[in-house]
Amino acid sequence: MIFRCQDAVEAEAEALACLEGLRLAAQWVQGSIILESDCTRVIQAMQQKEDRSALRFILEEAKDQAQVLVDWRITKVKRESNLVAHELAHFARRNMHSAVWLGRASACVEGLIKSDCNLCVN
């Protein structure tokens, strides 16, 4: 749950989340993906050819994972348009683990999915 990437610790957590998302996508997705983040620092670093920051090793691994995907891009989203990710981060924190749902969303976010999609369109 990183919304504004105000420091290096938050940027590292967001970079790790992006890496995990790309790992999962490489395993399960056959088509194009869009990786969303609200951390400008991580987005810019993922789009650059080379990064010399402390995040460099995480970002290199994420870019390596992205290479096995058919097509991918990373895009910035606003906090208000990211309610599902926010709720899932809280869910992971409460349960002290993360999880993946294939083909169906977790009950804790079913109601939020529609509003997130509508906010992205508007």
Output the furthest CA–CA distance in the chain (Å, rounded).
Answer: 41
HSE (side-chain half, CA atoms, 13 Å) at 21: 17
- Helical H runs in the chain? 8-28, 40-47, 56-67, 83-95, 110-121
Q: Determine the pLDDT at residue 64.
A: 92
Rounded to two decimals, the pTM is: 0.73
pLDDT tens sequence across 20-52: 889 989 988 889 999 888 888 888 888 888 877
pLDDT tens sequence across 61-118: 999 999 999 999 998 888 777 777 777 777 777 777 667 777 777 777 777 877 766 5
Is residue 1 pLDDT above 50, yes or no? no
Q: Phi/psi at 39 (nearest 5 deg)?
A: -100, 100
3-state secondary structure of 28: helix
98 vs 81: CA distance, rounded Å: 21
21 vs 62: CA distance, rounded Å: 9
Is residue 3 pLDDT above 50, yes or no? no
